[in-house]
Structure 1
Amino acid sequence: MQSIKWLGAGIALAALAACQPASETSAPAEAGLASMQEASTFTVLVGGTPIGALEIAAADDGYAIDYEYRNNGRGPTMVESVRLDENGLPQSWTVEGASTFGNPIDESFEFVDGEARWTDNTGSDQAVPAGDAFYVPENASPYWLAIAARALIEQEDGRMAALPGGELSLSEIEDLEVTGEHGDRTVTSYALSGTGLNPTYFLMHGDAFFGIMTPGFAILEAGYESEDERLRGVAAEYGARRFEEIQQRVVHDYDAPVRIANVRVFDSRDETLGEPVSVVVVDNRIDRIEAADARGDGEVVIDGAGGTLVPGLFDMHGHMGETSAFLNIAAGVTSVRDMGNNNDVLDGLEANIQSGRVAGPRLFRSGFIEGRSPFNSNNGILVSSEEEAVAAVQAYAERGFHQVKIYNSMNPEWIPAVIAEAHANNMRVAGHVPAFTNADAMIAAGYDEMTHINQIALGWVLEEGEDTRTLLRLTALRRLPGLDLSSDRVQATLDAMVERGVAIDPTYAIHEALLLSRNGTLSPGVVDYVDNMPVSNQRGARTAWADIANDEDDANYRGAYDQLTEVLRMMHERGIFIVPGTDLGGSFTLHRELELYQNIGMTPAEILGWGSWQMADYLGAGDDLGSIEPGKIADFFLIPGDPTEDFKAIKTISMVMADGRVYFPTEIYPEFGIQPFTEVPNIMDGR
């Protein structure tokens, strides 16, 4: 279905306006509009915290819609006008405003004389539908779900062609009882799917919109905010059931020794590719490595066909959810360092992964600590004092988190105490540079690792008093082309990192997406896989993130990317330890993250060893993970080609083994609307 960018990583918003009771909206009588009394105001919440509002005004033949939220100093602002025909299908639709990262939105759709025409951030197009078709906006408020639901309910099978492509499918799930200021209600939950990776779960009161729910994010009719936590739990369970069903269809737990025959094993310690062998797994451990043609009784043999077996990769900057968990496994990313999350939501996901209920990577959790402010993020633990910040460290230490992550709104004066407490508990400290200080101060305070390359670079270009709790922490990168990287201030920061052994988590690929994506042009990071993706993902891949207002902005953002690349090259040459993380969900984007480091002089073999063995060792898990050796956990993946010669070979994976369970990505991808990239290997079951 439609890519709901307002559900992406980093959603967090400022408190919102007063709510109006449902009785203030009159019930429209036209076909395709809600016939029941429908609320005019809905509250946007993240983890139970109000962060914005959705406001609906009904007209004779459509709706006017206002939608805005702010979380973590950013969020979308949209004003919509939609006009419907007698069947509830869009006849015209306009959306104006700005996306989460500031890219202007000026989208329009019109259906005239049997022809659909639309213009969005990817360009303009038209189509003549063969029958009924529903236009799915590229950018829209979630109220489009209600409009689509009313149209789909009128279809006999709950399905309809979607424009620009794909097919919408509506499924009714169950009735739920809710209680709020306007009385008890019976609402019905639905799943809408068809043009994206997953269904979206939402609620209707009859044919009136009631809200949308995900495990961490909800939009509910004003007056029913108290139902937020329960309904987010319901959404989490819907997702878990869906992924559990997928897991049952695609996991292969053979209950027998599994031999991957005729493969060349990549030695991640020596960064070399060996001669053909076979690798035998018993339970979830690598039992032995033998000759390529060796065989044993009662084995399941997977023919590697001379391909390459690579140790499972690590995404060192994730914010894990169910979809990204599953897609990481399909991409050979068997371990993820989660850098901050809704702790309760992640507890549930981790339990489901560990029990085998759903597929997902092994998680290394960072304790997210954020200061309260009008711009704060709403993940992890929010604190209002140094004492509360230290207590948050203690709470994470008691739960076994391996490090804490400091965020934007933390008071810089609290940081030394936080670091001291973390180090006293044998925990590392990573994080953003809090507002109104700089990387040099955080390095001096005792950070073990800096998070995001822009957080370091901002200290070289910001003026005193500028507030990085806003989008300025991204847009100020336009100033980088004028910076002399040989200057004393730049070199002093790098010197301090070398002297103190401070690592960097640059999230290189997300900076490529931010700085190089342009409206109507395919983003460079997705070119190798975008054609296999659902329609909404393909549209998003041709949309800018930032507001590129003119040629000067274009040149400055491109120049900023070049400057960041040069900084990373300098860091690598000086021995500053770099860890590869995406902040983009991992999977395909981790492949791109790794690929990009060829820009700073790393070889494919060096990158593979770094992205597997070195990360396992960095996290203290090298005894079990990071290499293909007898006695280690069976986390690895099979590719037909040789990634030491052509790094792009890692993007074509035919088999993954994660904790001893076998997956074939070709069986997983269709579950998410993705066209597979390879065939399933030949399997001989000798049991």
Structure 2
Amino acid sequence: MKRVLALSLAMVLASPAFAAETLRYVALVDNGKEAGHQVVTTGDDGVTRVDFVFKDNGRGPELKEEFKLAPDGTFTSYHVTGTTTFGAPVDESFGRDGNKVWWKSTSDHGEQTVDGTALYSPLGGSPAGFSVAFAALARRPDGKLPLIPSGTMSTRKVAEADVSNGKESRKVQLLAITGVGLTPTFAWATEEDTPRLFAFIVPGFVQLVEEGWGNSAAALETRQKQAETETLVAFQKRLAHPLDGSTLIRNARVFDSEHAKLGPASDVLVRDGRIVSVGKTGGAAKADNVIDAGGRVLLPGLFDMHTHIGRWDGGLNIATGVTTVRDMGNDNATLQQIIAEEKAGTLLATRIVPAGFIEGESPMSARNGFVIKNLDEAKKAVDWYAEHGYPQVKIYNSFPKDILRETAAYAHSKGLRVSGHIPAFLRAEEAVERGYDEIQHINQVMLNFLVDDKTDTRTLVRFYLPAEKVADMDFDSKPYQDFIAMLAKKQIVVDPTLSTFEYWRQRPGDMTESYAPIADHMPPDVQRGLRVAEMKIPDEATAQRYDKSFRKMVDFVGRMYRAGVPIVAGTDALPGFTVQSELEWYVRAGLTPSQVLQIATWNGAKYTRTLDDRGSITPGKLSDLVLIDGDPTTDISDIRKVAMVLKGDTVYYPSEIFDAMGIKPFATPVKVTAPENVFLSSPRTAGRRGPKDR
């Protein structure tokens, strides 16, 4: 799901413009397949109108915008209507009269007094909004553009390129936009006194480019990746603190993830990115560096078992204690690049376990990984993933159900696990019978009781049907009990991603329980974006019904866990912070905090087949460790109080990362002290199974 992308777009985009009769853009995915358009028309009445549509994976936004500009290039009036990616209505307006401004959206409203130039930043704007921002910024001698309701946008040129469409040549520039959202946003603009948007590219996902210039998109994406790399490398150098020699973490209460319990105060010695020993605190051994835990809780690094990783996600993940992610579907070339950069240490990133994405060809296909038409192509996709070290494949919505059994058997013969969405016109139990080892998303589990061989779950029906119907389910009845028993008997793993489905019950302007604990720490524009609803909820009765359905899905996760169904903690949403809220939902489902922490550590390693290397604080394993300023074994919400993260032989201080992203820190950092001699007695190496014994 591209919820994070949709949120980031809403936070950085204003609205469209360029003083031309008509300007057309095309949205390209999967090496040139058209998936949408943007048409910007300026009329004789001075009104600019935009028609924006983008459809991928059977869903996407549809927007109509109108606006007028003041002489300084900012809005005097603005209006957008349409629908969000998941069908919620968009209706937002803005006006300015002198120094008085006002705005109203489905999520908020307000008014201010504004002196001088300031640009309204809509919640529901299209990518054409870059043109307005670039033109207004070009008029600003200080290069900064105040925003309404709050914030300041600035840009800097990071690259340029010469492009040609065979008839015309043009020079374009890549601008890095800062001051909005949590990380820089990149867009290509024309090189002229009044620059406008030429292309907006999200590497590995979509290329929005002026019509007639699509042949230049691939080269621009390559150049953009190079330019982003320079910024990312500097980000990593600034925030990473490499450790030389050995490091002693002194007086830490170590969480035993294998047995889901908190141990006594211990000293943990690490060297060269590995855990050397775990023993009683105080004693006799030398160390080059010391971290005084002061009785804080030390956890193995957390896992996020459902991401679609991007190059900018590492900051939020590491700062929230996530040291390993499982990527559940990506552009293969982009993912291979990110994996290589992480291994080289040039990217602020988690460790990555890839799942190979295989989709079937259809008008509603997601365009990640391999999109296949037949069994031979499916086998070739499996071969590629096996050759590149992927431990599993992920089947998606349009995959041909008639070849599922043979594809799963072939993947198993290559040593790969099989998971995914349930292909259209199948039920979950049928997918399990045909070879699934794991199911992604709680809605895909619930659809088992709601679909037949004519239900097309490639559309938004896969969200609205369970939102409407789960409320009436009787989980104590035989069909549900039999289904849970089957999952437990076969040890079918479930990746619920509960947090990402809380938008089912979010009304416009409300803050979800998943993000309420972090909202006050976010920049104002991000806080505003978190209140945008994504589902169409027409009335209070529907809201109550969707809320009941969501809470019953939470209960179903608890029932599965207690029956012995393996659960893993995935998100498919805002990096890092959503892992923390996901764990809170499991506690609400009836699990203890310690059981939940075991899911986020031990289970993560077990079902990514990395248990030899991580998942517990055990001698011989990677020193991926998280120091918590609180006790999440008694209050799972303390998981947000991350004071220090050690990934191998590199220390990160979440407070530093958050400061760099405009986020108010959640805990005071615990830092490495100057080298000193300390002693460690009775190292707990004997009697503990090392990674080679598991």
TM-score (norm 1): 0.93
Change (3 A) 1:255 1:447: same
Secondary structure class of the residue paired with 1:524: coil
Please give the alpha-carbon distance, in whole angstroms, between the structure 2 residues aligned to 1:82 and 1:295: 72
1:465-503 per-residue CA deviation (whole Å, 9 max, x = no partner) reads 121111110011112222232344333422332332222
Q: Which amino acid aligns with 1:73?
A: G
User: Against the structure 1 CA distance between its residues 39 and 233, is the aligned structure 2 distance closer, same or farther, given a 3 Å change threshold?
Assistant: farther
CA separation of 1:420 and 1:352: change in aligned 2, threshold 3 A: same
Question: Aligned-pair distance for 1:271?
Answer: 2.1
AA aligned opposite 2:371: L
1:75 aligned residue? 60
Query: Do the aligned partners of 2:428 and 2:448 also contact (CA within 8 Å) in 1?
Result: yes
- Contact 1:372/1:384, CA 8 A, preserved across alignment: yes
Q: d(CA) in 1 for partners of 2:585 and 2:123?
A: 28
Is 1:210 the counterpart of 2:198 in the alignment? yes
Q: Aligned pair 1:44/2:33, yes or no?
A: no
Aligned counterpart, 1:254: 243
SS of match in other structure, 1:189: strand
Distance 2:579 2:17 in 1: 44
Aligned residue runs from structure 1 range 497-516, under 5 A: 497-512=487-502, 514-516=503-505
Structure 2 residue corresponding to 1:307, chosen from 291, 296, 300: 296
Letter in 2 for 1:366: A
Which range moves more in the overlay, 37-46 or 649-658? Answer: 37-46
1:462 aligns with 2:445: no
Q: Structure 2 counterpart of 1:42, which letter?
A: Y
Say if 1:533 and 1:362 are closer, same or farther in 2 by CA, change over 3 A: same
Give the secondary-structure state (helix, strand or coil) at the position aligned to 2:537. coil
- The residue matched to 2:131 in structure 1 has which SS? helix
- 1:144/1:519 CA distance change after superposition, 3 Å: same
2:586 and 2:212 mapped to 1: Cα distance? 50
Contact 1:580 1:594 in 2 (8 A): yes
In 2, Cα distance between the equivalents of 1:655 and 1:347? 28
Residue number in structure 2 paired with 1:653: 642
Q: Aligned Cα RMSD in Å?
A: 2.0
Q: 1:121-520 maps to which residues of 2 (within 5 A)?
A: 121-205=106-190, 206=192, 207-216=195-204, 217-294=206-283, 299-477=288-466, 478-512=468-502, 514-520=503-509
Counterpart mapping for 1:522-533 below 5 A: 522-533=511-522
For 1:22-64, what per-residue CA distance to the aligned partner results, in whole angstroms no more than 9, with x for missing partners? xxxxxxxxxx9646x6861101122432210011002354421
> Residue 181 of structure 1: CA displacement?
4.8
Is the aligned partner of 1:679 residue 2:664? no
Offset at residue 630 of structure 1 (A)? 2.0
Please say which of residues 93-102 and 165-174 is displaced more in the overlay: 165-174
Mapped partners of 2:321, 2:462: distance in 1: 32
Q: Which amino acid aligns with 1:617?
A: K
Structure 1 residue 432 displacement after superposition: 0.8
1:278 to 1:218, Cα distance in 2 relative to 1, 3 A: same
Contact 1:517 1:524 in 2 (8 A): no
Q: Which amino acid aligns with 2:499?
A: A
Give CA-to-partner distance per residue, 1:328-361, whole Å, 9 cap, x none. Answer: 1111111111111101011111111110001211
Are the counterparts in 2 of residues 612 and 626 from structure 1 also a CA contact under 8 Å?
yes
- Is residue 33–residue 150 contact of structure 1 (8 Å, CA) maintained in 2? no
Cα 1:271–1:68 shift into 2, 3 Å: same
Match of 1:54 in 2: 38
Q: Which moved more, 1:444-453 or 1:492-501?
A: 492-501
Is residue 132–residue 196 contact of structure 2 (8 Å, CA) maintained in 1? no
Mean CA deviation greater in 362-371 or 572-581: 572-581
| SS of corresponding position for 1:323 | coil
CA–CA distance in 2 between the matches of 1:459 and 1:271?
32
More off after superposition, 520-529 vs 287-296 = 287-296
1:261–1:302 contact (8 Å) kept in structure 2: yes
Aligned length: 661
Cα distance between partner residues in 1 of 2:285 and 2:478: 64
Identify the residue that residue 19 of structure 1 maps to in structure 2.
none
1:357-411 deviations in Å (ceiling 9; x for gaps): 0121111111100001010000010001122112211221121210111000011
Retained in 2: the 8 A contact 1:276–1:306? yes
SS of 1:667's equivalent in the other structure is: helix
Secondary structure at the aligned position of 1:578 is classed as coil
Q: Which moved more, 1:460-469 or 1:308-317?
A: 460-469
Aligned mates of 1:298, 1:415 — CA distance in 2: 54
Tell whether the 8 Å contact from 1:38 to 1:209 is kept in structure 2 after alignment: no
> Alpha-carbon deviation of 1:299?
1.8
Distance in 2 (CA, whole Å) between partners of 1:589 and 1:148 is 31
| Displacement of 1:660 | 2.0
**1:586 corresponds to which residue?**
575
Whole-angstrom distance in 2 between the partners of 1:261 and 1:563: 43
CA distance in 2, matches of 1:601, 1:484: 18
SS of match in other structure, 2:604: helix
Which amino acid in structure 2 is aligned with residue 233 of structure 1?
A: T
Whole-angstrom distance in 2 between the partners of 1:437 and 1:606: 32
Structure 1: distance between partners of 2:421 and 2:429: 12
Task: Write the letter of the residue equivalent to 2:470.
Answer: L
Measured after TM superposition, the shift of residue 463 of structure 1 is 4.9
What amino acid is the match of 1:145? F
Contact 2:303/2:323 (<8 A) preserved: yes
- Is 1:430–1:448's contact at 8 Å kept on the other side of the alignment? yes
**3-state SS of paired residue (1:165):** coil
Cα distance in 1, alignment partners of residues 62 and 22 from structure 2: 20
Identity %: 34
Deviation at 1:617, TM superposition (A): 2.3
Tell me how far apart the structure 2 counterparts of residues 426 and 561 of structure 1 sit (CA, whole Å).
Answer: 36
Deviations 1:289-314 (A, max 9, x none): 34534576562222222211111011
Q: Distance in 2 between matches of 1:242 and 1:580?
A: 31
C-alpha displacement of 1:161: 1.6
Of 117, 129, 132, 2:102 maps to 117
Q: Deviations 1:111-145 (Å, cap 9, x if unpaired)?
A: 11311101123221111124421111111101111
Assess if the C-alpha contact under 8 Å between 1:181 and 1:223 holds in 2: no
Residues 319 and 237 from structure 1, CA distance in 2 versus in 1: closer, same or farther, beyond 3 angstroms? same
TM-score by length of 2: 0.92
State the AA in 2 paired with 1:101.
Answer: F
Which residue of 1 is the match for residue 77 of structure 2?
A: 92
What SS class does the counterpart of residue 196 from structure 1 fall into?
coil
Q: Could you list the per-position Cα deviations for residues 413-432 of structure 1 after superposition, in whole angstroms to 9, with x for gaps in the alignment?
A: 01011111011111110011
* Most deviating of 309-318 and 530-539: 530-539
Q: Report the 3-state secondary structure (helix = DSSP H, G, I; strand = E; otherwise coil) of the residue aligned with 1:40.
A: strand
CA shift, 1:618, in A, is 2.7
Q: Which residue of 1 aligns with 2:691?
A: none
Contact residue 421 and residue 441 of structure 2 kept, 8 A: yes
**CA 42–177 in structure 1, closer or farther in 2 if over 3 Å, else same:** same
